[in-house]
Amino acid sequence: MTKRNFGAVRQLPSGRWQAKYRHPRSNQFIVAPSTFSTKRDADRWLANTQVDIDRGNWIDPAWGSVSLDEYAHSWLSQRLLAPRTVELYRGLLKHHIVPVLGKIDLNDLSPRDVRAWHSKLSKATEPGPVTVAKAYRLLRTVCETAVSDEMIGRNPCKLKGASVEHSPERPVATVAQVGEIFEAIEDRYGAMVLLAAWCSLRLGEALALTRGDIDLERGTVRVDKSAAELQHGERIIGPPKTRAGVRTVAIPPHVVPLIEEHLTAFTGPNDADLVFVGTLGQPVRRASFYTAWLRATATRGPSGLRYHDLRHTGATLAAATGASTKELMARLGHASADAALRYQHATADRDQAIARALSGLVAPIDNGESVRDS
């Protein structure tokens, strides 16, 4: 055994080398988490550990001797999150993270473990790429907090691009299709179709609207809350998805009379009365609305159209009018310009198609003479 003031290395019967050093405070020996193929590697590990201690970067291995499962649930309980977000994170932990990685101690969780877990999850038929990205992003965030808590020295989540959601392209309804769906759906839900398609409201935002949020004289709708429905049926009213989600949206003039008709037929007279209610005046349940939605869209609109796709329809139509990025962000309630730019790019692509079609009109008359000559 080679002894030093800081630690010691020794060769094991297997031929591999073991390194250990004294705890800076308790003076008890701490053995390296793995053995080394050469004495030089063991010496190098000891030297790096001593440098970390001298610089204040050393993490006590005992602090990370807690399972990922235990730490992640503790992390979740200490966060101020929206109820639906808590449900999402619990589901990701329960179904996709803990079954594979949960029993591993934080200080034993390696990039190799994370890479193998992510690869297996990505190759499975379920849950799909969007959920895989969300699960990875949650794991990375939990581990980043563990680094800040000085439980581990570095984050083992190092996969480039693994946290990016690559959602499939969603269909966009035409103006005519929006009208067809509006005519087909139950009358009490028609205004929800209009507010999604022409004002880009989310479902939760529409379900939380009260009469006082709609100003028919000015033609605006105020969005400052959202309705969430938890798995056990509890209905919660809270702020929109982001701070940017609090906004006032102008209603297109042709839609205002239809919204007024809805208020007269289905909404109570008081400012606090919900705009959208069920047959008995109760808050609309998502399941009830989705049932009506599926019936209305069974033979109308693009195949597989979802209610949220109408929000994208509204954004695309607004972009087609020439709305700027900031104007689209304000109308959609987006904190980031990325989504707004996506709708503008879609409009630019359509403009290129129009330009090509215009050139196609030249062909029939271009019989050897230039357009200028004709």
Whether residue 97 sits in one domain with residue 43 = no
Q: Is residue 342 over pLDDT 70? A: no
Res. 3: pLDDT tops 60: no
CATH classification of the domain holding 224? 1.10.443.10
Structure letter (DSSP) for residue 285? P
334 and 196, same domain (yes or no): yes
Does 73 map to a domain?
Answer: yes
User: Is there a catalytic annotation at residue 308?
Assistant: yes
State how far the Cα of 291 lies from the Cα of 184, in Å rounded to an integer.
Answer: 13
- Select from 338, 339, 348, 341 the least CA-distant residue to 324: 341
pLDDT at 125: 86
Banded model confidence at residue 372, pLDDT cuts 50, 70, 90: very low
Place of tokens 């597989």: 304
Please compute the mean of the pLDDT values over residues 127-131 and round it to a whole number.
90
- Is there a single domain that holds both residue 40 and residue 142? no
How confident is the model at residue 344, as a pLDDT? 63
- Residue 105's CATH number: 1.10.150
User: Catalytic pick from 73, 140, 331, 334?
Assistant: 334
In a domain, 283, yes or no: yes
Active site residue 300: no
Whether residue 248 is found in the same domain as residue 280: yes
Task: Tell me which residue range forms the domain holding 106.
Answer: 68-148
The answer on 118 and 83 residing in a single domain is: yes
Task: Let me know if residue 330 belongs to a domain.
Answer: yes
For residues 54 and 72, state if they share a domain.
Answer: no
Read off the pLDDT of each residue in 245-259 and give the average, rounded to a whole number. 93
pLDDT recorded at residue 11: 93
Q: Rounded to an integer, what distance in angstroms lies between the CA atom of residue 310 and that of residue 305? A: 8
Whether 374 is covered by a domain: the verdict is no
Catalytic residue among 10, 308, 345, 350: 308
Task: Tell me, yes or no, whether 300 and 203 share the same domain.
Answer: yes
Residue of 96, 202, 247, 312 with catalytic role:
202
> Which pLDDT score is estimated for 370?
41
Round to whole Å and give the CA distance between 95 and 117. 13
Q: What is the pLDDT of residue 96?
A: 96
334 is catalytic: yes
pLDDT tens digits, one per residue of 92-101 = 999 999 999 9
Q: Are residues 139 and 251 in the same domain?
A: no
Boundary-marking domain end, from 29, 58, 87 = 58
- What pLDDT, in 10s, does the model give residues 140-185? 999 999 988 888 888 999 999 998 877 667 888 999 999 999 999 9
Share of the chain residues as helix, strand and coil, in percent rounded to the nearest 5: 50, 10, 40
Catalytic residue among 73, 247, 311, 331: 311
Q: What is the pTM of this model?
A: 0.67
**Tally of domains in the chain:** 3
Q: Pairing relation of β-strands 220-223 and 214-215?
A: antiparallel
Q: Once rounded to an integer, what is the mean pLDDT over residues 123-150? A: 92
Q: What is the distance between the alpha carbons of residues 115 and 112, in angstroms, rounded to a whole number? A: 5
My answer on whether 211 and 91 are in the same domain is no
Which whole number is the average pLDDT over 192-203?
Answer: 94
pLDDT (tens digit per residue) in 221-230: 999 999 988 8
For the chain, the average pLDDT equals 87
Q: Are residues 268 and 195 in the same domain?
A: yes
Verify whether residue 202 is a known catalytic residue.
Answer: yes
Q: Which of 148, 164, 195 corresponds to the end of one domain? A: 148
Cβ atoms within 10 Å, residue 18: 17
pLDDT at 4 over 90: no
Average pLDDT over residues 267-273: 96
Backbone φ and ψ for 333, nearest 5 degrees, come out as: 75, 35
| H or E element in which residue 263 lies | helix 256-266
More confident residue, 325 or 210: 210
The active-site residue, picked from 21, 136, 189, 343, is: 343
What CATH number corresponds to the domain at position 24? 3.30.730
Per-residue pLDDT tens over the stretch 9-42: 999 999 999 999 888 777 788 888 889 999 999 9
Please say if the pLDDT value at position 316 is more than 90: no
Percent of the chain with pLDDT over 90: 55
Is there a catalytic annotation at residue 262?
Answer: no
Is position 169 within any domain? no
Kindly state whether residues 125 and 26 are assigned to the same domain: no
Q: Specify if 256 maps to a domain.
A: yes
Same structural domain, 129 and 199? no
pLDDT band with cut points at 50, 70 and 90 for residue 353: low
Residue 329: what pLDDT? Answer: 84
Summarize pLDDT for 63-73 with one digit per residue, the tens: 767 899 999 99
Q: DSSP string spanning 188-235?
A: HHHHHHHHHHHH---HHHHHT-BGGGEETTTTEEEE--EEEE-TTS-E
Name the nearest CA neighbour of 193 among 173, 210, 208, 213: 173
In a domain, 272, yes or no: yes
Question: Quick check: is 271 in a domain?
Answer: yes
Q: Please state, in angstroms and rounded to a whole number, the distance separating the CA atoms of residues 70 and 23.
A: 25
pLDDT value of position 352 = 61
